[in-house]
Amino acid sequence: MIRTQIQLPDETFARARKVCEAREISLAELARRGIEYILSVYGPESEAKREWQPPKPRKLGWKGLGDADLKLEAQLTRTERSLTRRRKG
């Protein structure tokens, strides 16, 4: 087993001490359990099994426009947009 030191903010240390007293475990045991939990969730084993995928796009809508209209609106320059508004108004 490796022996190491960690630095904790005072408030975190106080909260950890209270958990240790309530559960009747040492601070070292609390740290080991916490690290083991984090590694089980984010460890290299779980990352190696999954390939990263970008998030799926969401349909957020904008000004009640459909996909084609939204694309057209997004590609307009400020000048083109102001000319379009003048013609309509």
The pLDDT score that the predictor gives to residue 23 is 93
The pLDDT score that the predictor gives to residue 59 is 67
pLDDT in tens, 34-56: 999 988 888 676 555 677 788 88
The pLDDT score that the predictor gives to residue 47 is 57
pTM, to two decimals: 0.49
The DSSP annotation for the chain comes to: ---------HHHHHHHHHHHHHHT--HHHHHHHHHHHHHHHHSHHHHHHS---PPPP-----TT--HHHHHHHHH--HHHHHHHHHHH-
Note down pLDDT in tens along the chain; length 89 residues.
Answer: 889 999 999 999 999 999 999 999 999 999 999 999 988 888 676 555 677 788 887 766 666 777 788 788 788 888 887 887 766 65
